[in-house]
A = this chain, B = another copy of it.
Amino acid sequence: MQFAELREQVVAANLALVEAGLVILTFGNASIADRAAGVLAIKPSGVEYETLRPEDVPVLDLASGAVVAGDRRPSADAPTHLFLVRAFATMGAVVHTHSPYATAWAQARRDLPCLGTTHADHFRGPVPVTRALTDAEIEADYEVQTGAVIVETFANRNIDPLAVPAVLVASHGPFVWGASVEAAVENAVVLEDVARSSYRSISLAGDIEAIAEPLLAKHFERKHGAAAYYGQPA
C-alpha cells in the first residue's frame, strides 16, 4: 500500500477524535500533510469510524487536490483542509469536529475569550470566530471559501496560526490544527474543554474580562516558548 504509515496515522487520529468524545456518527475528519511528498491524506466521506481502514484513506496531491492513492471519495471538507495547509506553512495536520461546546460558540458567532490558564496553555489569546460567508461564497465554491474565510480571519487580526491553532467557523464548528497530528488532536480536546468551562463562567459572571496579558504569556510560554519548562526535557 502506498503512503501506508501516513494513512495509518490518519486512521488513528480519526479514531482518537471518537474516543475523546468530540464526534458522533460520521461528523468529523482529520487530515495529515506530508510536505516532503507533496500530499495530504484525509478521512473518506461518510465512512463510519469503526470500519475505517488505512486503504480507505484517500491521499491527495497537495497542489492540485487530485486523488493520488485510494479509491474512496475524500471528505466533503477536503478543499477546506487543502486551503489551510497551503496557506499556513507551519501546519502539519488539521482536525474538524462538531464538538458540542465549541460548536455552541461557533453558532453563537462569538470569539471564545481566554478566561483561564488551560486556555492560555494552548491558545495565546481568544479563539476567533469567522465572519459569515456571503451568499455568493456559499453558492460558488463553499468548501474552498470556508478555508479562505479562516485565512482571512487570521490575516485581518494578525494572529499566528501556531499561537492560536483553532478557529470557530460561524454557524458551523471548529477547525483545529497543529505542527503534528498529535498536537492537532490535543488542541481539539483542549478547545472543547475550555469552550465548556468558559461557557459556564459566562453563565455565572456575565461577560467577564479576559485574563491579563502577563498570565496569558506566562502559561503559553512555559509550555511553548524558547524557555519552556513544562514536561520532561527532550
Judging by beta carbons under 8 Å apart, are A46 and B230 in contact?
yes
Judging by beta carbons under 8 Å apart, are B100 and A196 in contact?
yes
Which residues of A207-234 are within 8 A (CB) of B?
Answer: 208, 211-212, 214-215, 218, 222, 229-233
A133 — which chain B residues lie within 8 A by C-beta? 215
Copies in the complex: 4
A158 — which chain B residues lie within 8 A by C-beta? none
Central interface residue in A45, A110, A186, A197, by most chain B CB within 10 Å: A197
Judging by beta carbons under 8 Å apart, are B173 and A117 in contact?
yes
- 14 A-B pairs (CB sep. < 8 Å): A45-B229, A45-B230, A45-B232, A73-B232, A76-B222, A103-B116, A104-B200, A105-B201, A105-B204, A107-B208, A117-B173, A139-B218, A171-B211, A199-B204
A101 — which chain B residues lie within 8 A by C-beta? 200
Which residues of A80-123 are within 8 A (CB) of B?
Answer: 98, 100-101, 103-110, 115-118
User: Could you tell me the distance between the alpha carbons of A116 and B91 in the complex, rounded to whole angstroms?
Assistant: 27
**Contacts A107-B201, A110-B204, A204-B104; is A44 near B232 (CB within 8 Å)?**
yes
Judging by beta carbons under 8 Å apart, are A231 and B107 in contact?
no
Judging by beta carbons under 8 Å apart, are A138 and B215 in contact?
yes
Judging by beta carbons under 8 Å apart, are B172 and A117 in contact?
yes
User: Could you tell me the distance between the alpha carbons of A9 and B202 in the complex, rounded to whole angstroms?
Assistant: 37
Interface string of A61-79 (1 = CB under 8 A from B): 0000000000011001000
Whether A144 is near chain B, meaning CB under 8 Å from some CB there, is no
Contact of A118 among B45, B98, B135, B229 (CB under 8 A): B98
Judging by beta carbons under 8 Å apart, are B193 and A24 in contact?
yes
Question: Which residue of the partner chain B has the closest CB to A73?
Answer: B232
Question: Which residue of the partner chain B has the closest CB to A102?
Answer: B197
User: Could you tell me the distance between the alpha carbons of A218 and B186 in the complex, rounded to whole angstroms?
Assistant: 31
Judging by beta carbons under 8 Å apart, are B46 and A205 in contact?
no
Whether A189 is near chain B, meaning CB under 8 Å from some CB there, is yes
Judging by beta carbons under 8 Å apart, are A203 and B199 in contact?
yes
Judging by beta carbons under 8 Å apart, are B100 and A197 in contact?
yes
Whether A190 is near chain B, meaning CB under 8 Å from some CB there, is yes
Whether A198 is near chain B, meaning CB under 8 Å from some CB there, is yes
Whether A163 is near chain B, meaning CB under 8 Å from some CB there, is no
User: Could you tell me the distance between the alpha carbons of A212 and B116 in the complex, rounded to whole angstroms?
Assistant: 32
